[in-house]
Structure 1
Amino acid sequence: MSETQSGSRKLLGRLKQALAEPAEGQERLDRITRLIAEEMATPVCSIYLFRDEDTLELCATEGLNPESVHKTRMRMGEGLVGRVAASTKPINTGNAPSEAGFRFMPETGEEIYSAFLGVPIQRLGERLGVLVVQSKESKPYSEDQVYATEVVAMVLAEMTELGAFIGEGAAMAAPHQHPVMLRGSVGQEGAAEGRVLLHEPRVVVTNPFADDAESELVRLGEAVDKLRISVDEMLTSADMTDKDQRDVLEAYRMFANSKGWKRRMEADINRGLSAEAAVEKEQTAARARMEQVPDPYLRERLHDLDDLSNRLLRLLTGQGSHTGVEMPENPVLVARNIGPGELLAYGRGLKGIILEEGSVGSHAAIVARALAIPLVINCERITTEALNGDPVLVDGEQGIVHLRPEESVATAFRDKMAMMTKAQERYASIRRVPATTVYGPTIRLDMNAGLMADLPSLKSSGAEGVGLFRTELQFLVRSKLPSRGDLAATYSRVLDAAEGRRVIFRTLDIGSDKVLPYMKPQDEPNPALGWRAIRVGLDKPGVMRMQLQAMIRGAKGRPLSVMFPFVAQFDEFRVARRRLLDELDREEKMGHVLPEKVEIGAMLETPSLAFAPRQFFEMADFISVGGNDLKQFFFAADRENERVRRRYDTLNVSFLTFLEWIVMRCNETKIPLSFCGEDAGRPVEALCFAAMGFRALSMRPASIGPVKHLLRRSNLAEVRELIDDARAGGAQTVRPALMDWLRQQG
C-alpha cells in the first residue's frame, strides 16, 4: 500500500471513530476540524455550511478565532470560500490574498495564513458547504493533500445527508425532517394530497468507510460485472435496425466497460472509502463536470455515466427501484424528469406529479393533462428534499408543493380540495344541458384528447365531441415508428369510443419540444420556430402518407375530420390537402372503404395565416385557433420561458383585437371556427372568446364544467361592451374591468 493510501486510510479511520462517538452537532464538528488539522499537519481547518441557499456560515474551526464561529458569513461567490461553493471546484493557492475575489475577514484572524485549500462539500450536485485548510507556508498543498481533503469532504457530505451534524453546530435544518414549501410552475391544474413515490429513489450511503478494503473491492467487482451483463442484455434486446438507439447503447456499454472508471473507484476504496462511497464520489465528480460542459452531446454522455452510477449504487446497496418498493397510498410521483412511456406505465393511479425539470409543452405535461393528473414542473430541489413515503400536497393551480406539511397547512389544503369537489358536483348537474348564454347564442364545447384513456371523459364531462385528438402521443411512447396497421386500429378505436360524436384528428405535430426517440434530433438554435409539425410532414412525405392512410382506413366508412398543424402559409395547406385527396383516390382504386364524409382543416397558430389569401379560407373546411402557439408568437414570448410567458395577458386588448380579425375573416367565408388550447379551458378567457365571436371551444375535459357554468350565466353582449369600452379607453387588458363586472354579477 502506498504512503498516500495509508495516510488517507488513517485519516478516514480517525474520522469514522469521531463520528461514531456520541456528541452534539457542534462538539462533533469541532472534533472533526481538530483531527483533520492534526492528520494533515496543517494549522487551520474550517467547515463552512450553508445557512440558506445563498449564505455560508463558519460552523467550526481549528486554528482561526473561535469567537468567529457562527458569526462569519458570506454570500455564494463571495471570497475564496464563496467561489469554491459557487463553482463546486477546489481552489488551491500558496498566496490567497493575491487570488481574484479574495475577501479579508479580520474577525477570524486568518491574515497570517498564506496557503489556502478549499474543496466543496457536495452530494450529487447538491451544495452543502465548503471544507478549508490553511497554513503559513507560501506554497500550494500537494496533490495527495488535495485528494485527502476531497475524500473527507465527500464523507462530510454523506454525514450531513444523514443528519450527523444536527444541533447547535448545524447551519441548515435537518434534511428530510422539517416541512418544506417549494415553488414551481403550473403544468396541469388541480390539487392532490398523497405520499411521495420517487421515480428514481436516491440511494443513501449509510457507511462511507471501508472496514475491509479487500472485501469492498470484491463487492465492487461483482456489482460492475452484473452491471455489464445488464447493459449487454439491453443491447441484445434492442432493435438492431435502429442505428441511433444502438449507438446510444454502445456508448452506454463503453462507459460500463471503462477500465479508467473502475480503476478510479478502486483507488478510492484503497484510500479508505466503501464501495458505495467510491461510486458516489465518481458520480459527484461526473455531475460537476456535466454542469460545466456546454456541448450537448458530451453532456448527454456524462448523463449516461451518471445513470450507470445510479444503477451500480442500487446493485451495491439493494436500494431503489429494483427492490420492488411498494406503491404508497395516494402516490404522488416525484422525478427529475420522465418520458411519456414511463409515465403511462404508472397509469391513472397517480394522484399528482412533481418534476424538477420539464416544461408546459413537454411529453410528461401532455400525458399528465390527458390523464387529468395535477402536475407541477420546474420544482427545484424536490428530488433531493423528498424521500419515499413523505406526505406531500400538490397545488397545481399555483405551482406550489408542500412537502411534510404542518397540520394547519394540510387542513387548509383539504378545505380547498373539498370546495373544488363541491364545485365539480355542481358542474355535474349541468353536464347534459347546452352551453347557452343569456339571450343566446349557444357555444359548442369540445374536449382535447390524445390517449384512449381520455375517451371515457366524453360522457362524464359533457363534451360534444373531440375538438383535437393529438396523434403524436402514439409516436412518442414507442421506441420505433408505429406501423400503419397499428395506427389505423388506434384511430378506429377512438371513433368507436366517440360513438358517433365528431373527432378531429390532428396530424403528427412533432419537433420543437416533442422529439421522437427514434428520430435524429435537429440541432436548431430556436426549435419552436424551426422544423416542426407540418414542415416535417411535407419534408417527410412517406410518414405523412402512412398516417393519412391509417386515418382513412381507421374511419371504416365513418365521417373523418383531419387537421394540419402549424400552417404558416396558404401553399402549405394546399399541398397537404392535395396529399390527403390523393390518398383518398388511391384507397378507392385499391377497393378500400372510404369515409362517408371528409373534412380538411388547419390549425391557425401563426399570425401569418390570419392574413392568408381569401382562397385559403374558402378551401379549408374548418379552422381551429391554436391558442398556445399563437399567443407566444403574437407576443414574441416563449411559452417555455417562465421569465416572459406570464408577462403577457391573454385578455390583452391587442390580442383580443387580433382574434376579432380572425373571426371576421372566417365569417366572411362562412367557415367554422373554434379556439383550442389551455386558455379555452379558463372560464374568464372562454367568456371573452365567446364575446369576440367564437362559437366553439376545445379544452381539457375537467374544464368543460366550469366554462359551461359561467357561459350559461353570462350575457355576451354586456361582455362585448366591456371589451369595446376597454379598447376605447386605451386599457392594456380587459381583465380588471371584466373581473369587477363578474363580481357585481355575483
Structure 2
Amino acid sequence: MAEQTESESRKLLRRLRDTLAEDSAGQTRLDRIMHLTADSMQTEVCSIYLFRDAETLELCATEGLNPESVHQTRLKLGEGLVGRVAKFTKLINTANAPQEKGFRFMPETGEEIYSSFLGVPVQRLGERLGVLVVQSKEARQFSEDEVYALEVVAMVLAEMTELGAFIGEGAALSARHQQPVMLKGGVGQEGTAEGHVFLHEPRVVVTNPIADDPHAELQRLQEAIDQLRVSVDQMLTSAGTGDKEQMQVLEAYRMFANSKGWMRRMEEDIARGLSAEAAVEKEQSTARARLSQVPDAYLRDRLHDLDDLSNRLLRILTGQGKDTGAEMPDNPILVARNIGPGELLEYGRSLKGIILEEGSVGSHATIVARALAIPLIIHAERITNEALNGDHVMVDGEQGIVHLRPDDTVVSAFRDKMAMQAQAQERYTSIRDKPAETLCGTNISLTMNAGLMADLPSLDNSGADGVGLFRTELQFLVRNKVPRRGELAALYGRVMDAAHGKRVIFRTLDIGSDKVLPYMKPQDEPNPALGWRAIRVGLDKPGVMRMQLQALLRAANGRPMYIMFPMVAQFEEFKEARSFVYKEVERERQLGHVLPESLEVGAMLETPSLAFAPRQFFEMADFISIGGNDLKQFFFAADRENERVRRRYDTLNVSFLTFLEQIVQRCNETDTPLSFCGEDAGRPVEALCFAAIGLRALSMRPASIGPVKSILRRSNLAEVKEVIETARARGDQSVRPAILDWLTKES
C-alpha cells in the first residue's frame, strides 16, 4: 500500500512538472495545478491563497470554488481557517470546517457546501508565501499520506514562485524577485551609494524540485552527506582542543550531520518524487517552522546549526554559493545576514555599500564600515530573502533606507540627491586647507576618528588637524589570537608615520559589550553595555594592557605619544591605569629603549559619574574626550541599539547640553583640554551647538569634517549661544527647532 502511495505521489509530481514546463501564462499554470491536485487527491476543491502584502491573502487560483471570486476574495492574516494557517504556519486538518475555531464564511466563493478542510502553509525557508487548501463535501479527516502529498505540492509551488513561474498582472502573482522593494533599517554608517547586489552567502535556488529517478537522487544525497560529514570532521580536527564552547557547537554540527532521522526523512521525500535538493530544503523548512515556535532558547539556537548544515548540503548538491567563483558585479553592494570584521576587511574598499539583515551600531562590521567610509544599513529585515545577485540597489545611509530594484521615479530622485551631495563635497574641498574659524574669530580643532591604516590617507584629504581617536581594538578583533607586541609596535609606528607629525591619540583596547574577541570567552552578561568592558577588562587582566602600552611606547620612537583610556567611570580607575603607563615608561628606560619625546595620558568621559569626579581627576588628566555615543545612552538610560528608544532622545536636548556645559566648565577650571568624539560631533547642527557652549575640539569620521567646517566658518558663536539661552529660558525641551529656524533666517 505504501509503495502505491509513493507511486501516486511521484505520478502527481511528474504531472506537475509537465504542467510547469508548458509554455503558458502564470495564471493558466496555477489553474492547471489546482485541477491536477484536486483530481489526484479526489477532492472537489483545491485553492491557493498568496500574500498580496504582509497582512493580506488573496485567492489566486481555484478548482471547485466560484471562479469569479479569484483575485477578488481577500483575507487578513489570521482571518478564517486560511488566515490562521498563514499566521501560525501550521496545517489545519478538519472533517467539519464550519465548526472549527476561526472559521469564516465567504459566500462569494460558494464554499459552504464543503465540510472537510485541509490547509498547509506555502513557505520557503521560513518566508511565508501563502496557503494551499483542499476541501471536500464528504466529512473526513485527511490521512497522513494525503497531508504529505499536499505539503509536497506546496513546497513545489514555493520553489516555482521563487523562480517566477506564476508571473501575472496581480501583485500576488508577480515574480518574486522582479518587484521594486523599499526596506527601512538603521543607520550603521552614513552616506549614499548606488550599485548592484553581491550576496555574501547566496541563497541556493532549487531549479529541479521534481526528479524521475529516485535511486540516482538517493545516491547524490548520500555522496553529498558523506562530503558534508568529512568537512565537519575536518572542522573539529582543526579546532583541536581549543575553545570549549566552539567545540560544543561543532559537536552539535556533527550530531546533526550524522542524524539518522534527518537522513531517513530526506530519503522518504526522494522516494515520493522529490529531487535530493528539494528533499533537503523541505526538511529544512519543516524544521524551521517547528523550532521557531519553541520557547527554549537553546533549541532555537540549534535551528541555526541545522540551517547552516542544510545550506552547506545544498551548496554541495547544487554547486551554488560560496567558493563557486561568482564574479563581483560593477559597483558591488554587499548584502548579508551578518558578517565578521575579518571577512569585511577581505572585501575592502571595493564595496560601494553594505546592507545587513542583523548587525548593530556598535558591531565589528559597523566599526570596519566606518573605518572604510562605506555606507552601511543595519536591521534591513528580509533583505537576504528579497535580494538576488546583480539586483540594482540604492542605499540611503542618511535615512536608513534601501531601494531594491527601484523604479525610474526613485532612481531619478536618488541620483538628484547624490548629485547635490557631490556638489557640496566640491565646496568642502575648496575650504579643506582653511581653518575652522568662526565669524567671531574662534578656532575649532577638527580631528578624525580612525582604526585602520587604510584610514590615514583621509587625514590629508579631509583637512583634519590630526587623529582624535585611533581605535586599537580592530587589530585584535580580526585575528584568531592575541597579536604580538612587535606586530602592534610596528603598526602603531606606521600610523604615526602616515600622520606626518600630526597628533594621533591612541585609545587603548576597548573590548567587551558587543566587541568580543574571537579568542576571548564570551561573558554571559544580562546587559553587556553596562558590564565587563574596556578599562574594566584591562585592569582585571593587566597582561594585555601592559603589552599594548609597551607597543605604544616603542612605536613613538622618540616622538610625542598620546594615550587615552576608554570607559573610565571613577577617578581611582584612571589613577590605576595611568600608573601602569608610567611603570612601563620606567621599564623601557631601564631596558635602554628610546622614550617618547613627550607623553600625555587622557581619559574618555563616557559615564555621567566621571563628570562628578574629584577636581584631582581633572588636574591629573592631560586631556579628556567626551565619548558622545556611550555618554548619551547612559545619560538618557536609552540603549543605542534599541530602535524603539534611541531616537526619542535628542542630543540637543536642553538637559544634555546643560550637562555638557558643566563638563566644559570643570575642564576650564583646571585648564584641561577637552574634545567631543562621536557620531554627533560630525553632524553640522550638533557641532555648531557644541562649539557655542564652549567645546573647542571635535573628532568625527573624515567625511564629516567638510560639512562641519563649512557651517562653523559662516556662523557667529555668540549668536548661536544666544539662541540656545533663549530656548532654555523658554522651557524648550530641545534647542534644535530654534537653531534650525535661526540657520534658515541666516542663509
Question: How would you bin the TM-score normalised by the shorter chain?
Answer: over 0.9
* Residue pair 1:652, 1:733 contacting (<8 A) in 2 also: yes
| Aligned counterpart, 1:194 | 195
* Residue pair 1:37, 1:44 contacting (<8 A) in 2 also: yes
* Residue pair 2:438, 2:712 contacting (<8 A) in 1 also: yes
CA distance 1:293–1:675, shift in 2 (3 Å): farther
* Residue pair 1:691, 1:716 contacting (<8 A) in 2 also: yes
| Aligned counterpart, 2:261 | 260
Matched, 1:426 2:438: no
* Residue pair 1:447, 1:468 contacting (<8 A) in 2 also: yes
The C-alpha deviation readout for 1:109-147, integer Å capped at 9, x for no partner, is 334444332211111121110112233455532222222
CA distance in 1, matches of 2:679, 2:393: 26
Q: CA deviation at 1:742?
A: 1.2
For 1:70, give the aligned amino acid.
H
Question: What is the aligned-residue RMSD (CA, Å)?
Answer: 2.0
CA distance in 1, matches of 2:523, 2:471: 22
The C-alpha deviation readout for 1:581-609, integer Å capped at 9, x for no partner, is 33333333343333232222111111121
For 2:302, give the aligned amino acid.
R
Q: Return 504-513 or 442-451, whichever deviates more.
A: 504-513
CA distance in 1, matches of 2:33, 2:171: 13
* Residue pair 1:26, 1:165 contacting (<8 A) in 2 also: yes
Q: Secondary structure at the match of 2:38?
A: helix
Matched, 1:229 2:244: no
* Residue pair 2:165, 2:175 contacting (<8 A) in 1 also: no
CA distance 1:480–1:79, shift in 2 (3 Å): farther
CA distance in 2, matches of 1:294, 1:485: 49
Q: Secondary structure at the match of 2:439?
A: coil
Matched, 1:131 2:127: no
The C-alpha deviation readout for 1:4-56, integer Å capped at 9, x for no partner, is 42232222122222222333222222221222122122333221100111100
| Aligned counterpart, 1:454 | 455
* Residue pair 1:471, 1:505 contacting (<8 A) in 2 also: yes
Q: CA deviation at 1:559?
A: 2.1
Q: Secondary structure at the match of 2:287?
A: helix
Question: Structure 2 stretches of 5 or more lacking a match?
Answer: none
CA distance in 2, matches of 1:592, 1:289: 64
Q: Secondary structure at the match of 2:197?
A: strand
Q: Return 25-34 or 729-738, whichever deviates more.
A: 25-34
Identity of aligned residues (%): 78
* Residue pair 2:20, 2:29 contacting (<8 A) in 1 also: yes
Q: CA deviation at 1:155?
A: 0.5
The C-alpha deviation readout for 1:704-724, integer Å capped at 9, x for no partner, is 111111111111010000000
CA distance in 2, matches of 1:646, 1:536: 30
| Aligned counterpart, 2:76 | 75
Q: CA deviation at 1:96?
A: 3.6
| Aligned counterpart, 1:384 | 385
| Aligned counterpart, 1:321 | 322
* Residue pair 2:60, 2:173 contacting (<8 A) in 1 also: no
* Residue pair 1:679, 1:685 contacting (<8 A) in 2 also: yes
Q: CA deviation at 1:226?
A: 2.3
* Residue pair 2:377, 2:395 contacting (<8 A) in 1 also: yes
Which aligned pairs between 1:334-345 and structure 2 lie closer than 5 A?
334-345=335-346
Q: Return 568-577 or 53-62, whichever deviates more.
A: 568-577
Q: CA deviation at 1:365?
A: 1.3
Which aligned pairs between 1:592-607 and structure 2 lie closer than 5 A?
592-607=593-608
Q: Return 298-307 or 709-718, whichever deviates more.
A: 298-307
Q: CA deviation at 1:683?
A: 0.8
CA distance 1:10–1:661, shift in 2 (3 Å): same
* Residue pair 2:164, 2:174 contacting (<8 A) in 1 also: no
Which aligned pairs between 1:675-686 and structure 2 lie closer than 5 A?
675-686=676-687
Q: Secondary structure at the match of 1:2?
A: helix
Matched, 1:22 2:23: yes
CA distance 1:570–1:139, shift in 2 (3 Å): farther
TM-score (norm 2): 0.96
* Residue pair 1:354, 1:377 contacting (<8 A) in 2 also: yes
Q: CA deviation at 1:373?
A: 0.7
Q: Secondary structure at the match of 1:81?
A: helix
CA distance 1:137–1:547, shift in 2 (3 Å): farther
The C-alpha deviation readout for 1:170-200, integer Å capped at 9, x for no partner, is 6242222233222222221111111111111
CA distance in 2, matches of 1:288, 1:9: 25
| Aligned counterpart, 1:574 | 575
TM-score (norm 1): 0.96
CA distance 1:598–1:567, shift in 2 (3 Å): same
Q: Secondary structure at the match of 1:61?
A: strand
Question: Structure 1 stretches of 5 or more lacking a match?
Answer: none
| Aligned counterpart, 1:351 | 352
* Residue pair 2:470, 2:505 contacting (<8 A) in 1 also: yes
The C-alpha deviation readout for 1:606-652, integer Å capped at 9, x for no partner, is 11211122222122111111111111121222211122211221111
Q: Return 598-607 or 243-252, whichever deviates more.
A: 243-252
* Residue pair 2:472, 2:508 contacting (<8 A) in 1 also: yes
| Aligned counterpart, 2:13 | 12
* Residue pair 2:166, 2:174 contacting (<8 A) in 1 also: no
For 2:107, give the aligned amino acid.
P
* Residue pair 1:279, 1:313 contacting (<8 A) in 2 also: yes
CA distance in 1, matches of 2:522, 2:308: 21
Q: Secondary structure at the match of 1:333?
A: strand
CA distance 1:235–1:67, shift in 2 (3 Å): same
| Aligned counterpart, 1:584 | 585
Matched, 1:370 2:375: no
Q: Return 111-120 or 427-436, whichever deviates more.
A: 111-120
The C-alpha deviation readout for 1:465-498, integer Å capped at 9, x for no partner, is 1111111111211222223332222222222222
Q: Secondary structure at the match of 1:292?
A: coil
* Residue pair 1:49, 1:170 contacting (<8 A) in 2 also: no
* Residue pair 1:25, 1:170 contacting (<8 A) in 2 also: no
| Aligned counterpart, 1:513 | 514
The C-alpha deviation readout for 1:206-249, integer Å capped at 9, x for no partner, is 11001211111111122222223333333344465444434433
Q: Return 283-292 or 730-739, whichever deviates more.
A: 283-292
Q: Secondary structure at the match of 1:424?
A: helix
CA distance in 2, matches of 1:592, 1:250: 49
* Residue pair 2:201, 2:336 contacting (<8 A) in 1 also: yes
CA distance 1:728–1:23, shift in 2 (3 Å): same
* Residue pair 1:29, 1:169 contacting (<8 A) in 2 also: no
For 1:359, give the aligned amino acid.
S
| Aligned counterpart, 2:154 | 153
The C-alpha deviation readout for 1:455-474, integer Å capped at 9, x for no partner, is 11111111111111111111
For 2:351, give the aligned amino acid.
L
| Aligned counterpart, 2:636 | 635
CA distance in 2, matches of 1:213, 1:570: 73
CA distance in 2, matches of 1:732, 1:474: 42
Q: Return 177-186 or 290-299, whichever deviates more.
A: 290-299
Q: CA deviation at 1:560?
A: 2.0
CA distance in 2, matches of 1:190, 1:239: 43
* Residue pair 1:26, 1:169 contacting (<8 A) in 2 also: no
Q: CA deviation at 1:294?
A: 4.3
Q: CA deviation at 1:290?
A: 4.8
Q: CA deviation at 1:154?
A: 0.6
Q: Return 236-245 or 424-433, whichever deviates more.
A: 236-245
Q: CA deviation at 1:95?
A: 4.1
| Aligned counterpart, 1:333 | 334
Which aligned pairs between 1:201-600 and structure 2 lie closer than 5 A?
201-238=202-239, 240-600=241-601
The C-alpha deviation readout for 1:685-738, integer Å capped at 9, x for no partner, is 100000011010000001111111111111101000000000001111111111
For 1:706, give the aligned amino acid.
P
For 2:385, give the aligned amino acid.
T
